[in-house]
Amino acid sequence: MAAGTAPEASLSHLPNADGSATFAYAGYTVVGAVNGPIEVQRRDELPEEAVVDVISTLRQIILVNNFPRTLIQVILQVTTAPENEYVNTKVVQASSNLPILPALLQTAVLSLLSAAVPLTATLTSTSLAILADGGSRNIVVDPSPREIETSQSFHVFSFTSHDELVLAQSEGIFTMKEWDDGYTLAHRQCCPTGNVDDGDTLMDDDGPAGADLKHFTRSVLEEKIASDLYWK
């Protein structure tokens, strides 16, 4: 699956996993697999809920109390990453792994849905870069590697399908006004039906509006359900 301008995904294509997904967007392609609930080692066992063996953010949306003394294992593998031909390779290798986080989270959620693991909500994530342009600042949604390397700051936001913020990570130099503007733009992208009090006027958006990943996740799941019902 090639990563294009629009997000792409396929579900349940790995035969030896309880659930699986491949997600491609913004230059990244990530393959995910979920196994569980399965037996967990006694030293890691939680008496009243399931262990989630991946990113702690996922514990906030999985109904872990439904599966005490078990393990839900999420495996993610990055198969494609965008290249930045304008930046020295050593600089790229030394840069943060934060830009890949939205693709990892989106793949994990799709894999959990494929495995029919009960969730309280789904997640959508987006990344933003704040670029310095003379005396002004421009926010770019889903920035390119070149834009990330030359940005003043870089931000990742994740929201639940209930429009609740569950993750916010930032790097670089920025003001609270710039962070608030980034949050508002991220909320508009991840929660297109939600209402946010804009407050001050947003800085100019110098990039694309980004994909509606909330609708995308719903449509991918609907296609899988329709396909499963067709074969039945």
CA distance 17 to 76: 12
Phi/psi for 123 (5° steps) reads -125, 145
Give the Å distances, CA to CA, from 133 to 23, 24, 211: 33, 30, 25
Give the pLDDT score at 53. Answer: 60
The reply to whether 181 falls in a domain is yes
The reply to whether 146 falls in a domain is yes
Cβ count within 10 A of residue 179: 16
The reply to whether 140 falls in a domain is yes
Residues 6 or more apart in contact with residue 2 via CB below 8 angstroms:
8, 24, 29
Domain hosting residue 78, numbered range = 8-231
CATH, residue 60: 3.30.230.70
Angle between helices 213-231 and 176-190 (to 10 degrees): 30
The reply to whether 30 falls in a domain is yes
CA nearest neighbour of 99 among 70, 142, 44: 142
- Can you spell out the DSSP letters for 56-107? GGGGGTB-GGGSTTEEEEEEEEEEE----TTS-HHHHHHS-SGGGHHHHHHH
Could you report how far apart the first and last alpha carbons of the chain are, in Å? 27
Give the pLDDT score at 55. Answer: 59
CA distance 66 to 77: 27
The reply to whether 1 falls in a domain is no
If you count DSSP H runs as helices and E runs as strands, how many of each does the chain have, helices first?
5, 9
CA distance 182 to 114: 31
Are residues 171 and 98 in contact, defined by beta-carbon separation less than 8 angstroms? yes
Give the pLDDT score at 46. Answer: 78
Per-residue pLDDT of the chain (232 residues; tens, 9 = 90+): 444 478 999 999 999 999 999 999 988 999 999 998 888 777 777 777 776 666 578 888 999 898 888 889 899 999 998 876 454 443 333 356 899 999 999 999 999 999 999 999 999 999 999 998 776 789 999 998 889 989 999 999 999 999 999 999 999 999 999 999 999 999 988 888 644 444 444 444 444 456 778 888 888 888 878 877 766 5
CA distance 158 to 35: 24
CA distance 106 to 76: 11
CA nearest neighbour of 81 among 28, 31, 149, 126: 28
The reply to whether 195 falls in a domain is yes
The reply to whether 2 falls in a domain is no
Give the Å distances, CA to CA, from 167 to 60, 163, 188: 10, 12, 15
**DSSP bridge pairs for 157:** 126, 168
- Domains of the chain: total: 1
Give the pLDDT score at 198. Answer: 45
The reply to whether 66 falls in a domain is yes
Give the pLDDT score at 82. Answer: 85
